[in-house]
Chains A and B, each alone.
Chain A
Amino acid sequence: EVQLVESGGGLVQPGGSLRLSCAASGFAFSNYAMHWVRQAPGKGLEYVSAISSNGYNTDYANSVKGRFTISRDNSKNTLYLQMGSLRAEDMAVYYCARVARGKFDYWGQGTLVTVSS
């Protein structure tokens, strides 16, 4: 059974940092690109970042470029999102998702990031 389990969310002050993790199981993690997608309270889905299966290629939404870093450890079947210089507008539930031919076929349950002083 495919499972994606996010962790690392929590309360952080504006300007602070946080690292999210997404532990994958039930599939060959190293064969799939992965994405982070976020959802602010009461809002829609927003692309955050993507990484290729081997980790060599990454991409970011303009809103997080230069502040967030996506990475993966295929030996540990884990995806990461290092978030820095956090702002109030970064507050959201962050989902990791497996990407298969462009479709997000499996999602984690999400982890909530709250940015507040």
Chain B
Amino acid sequence: DIQMTQSPSSLSASIGGRVTITCRASQSINRYLNWYQQKPGKAPKLLIYDAASLQSGVPSRFSGSGSGTDFTLTISSLQPEDFATYYCQQSFSTPYSFGQGTKLEIK
């Protein structure tokens, strides 16, 4: 099974700031990497798919990059509604494993 490792596990940032979250796969997954946002008590929401494609309706301040084993999610100009937990997920091979999550908090 493919292991996904996110870093950091948590971070704090200010409104209007910029953050980058990293996700590393235990083997190459090409660009089969998706990012989700989850708020407390809610289901996850798809943000980015295939490493860099923005899901419909997701603000353009969210962007993704990477291929192979290393990927990043960047959020520019942080808004209050962006403070949540973010998960990466590989869709290269089943089981479609998730990273452990990165909690983004307000500084």
Residues on A lying within 8 angstroms of B by beta carbon are 35, 37, 44-47, 50, 59, 61, 95, 99, 101-105, 107-110
Contacts and interface: CB of A to CB of B under 8 A. Distances in A.
B49 A44 contact: no
B98 A35 contact: no
Interface in B39-88: 42-46, 49-50, 55, 87
A86 to B, nearest CB: 20
A50 B100 contact: no
Given A44-B101, A45-B87, A102 B43 contact: no
A91 B91 CA distance: 25
A59 B43 CA distance: 22
Contacts of B22: none
A47 B101 contact: no
Q: Interface residues of A: mostly helix, strand, loop or mixed?
A: strand
Contacts, number: 57
A47 B97 CA distance: 6
Contacts of B87: 44-45
A63 B59 CA distance: 37
Given A102-B32, A103-B34, A104-B44, A44 B95 contact: no
The 8 closest A-B pairs by CB, nearest first: A102-B91, A107-B43, A103-B49, A45-B98, A44-B101, A47-B95, A103-B34, A44-B100
Nearest to A95: B43
B103 to A, nearest CB: 10
Most buried by B among A46, A59, A101, A103: A103
Given A44-B100, A45-B101, A105 B46 contact: yes
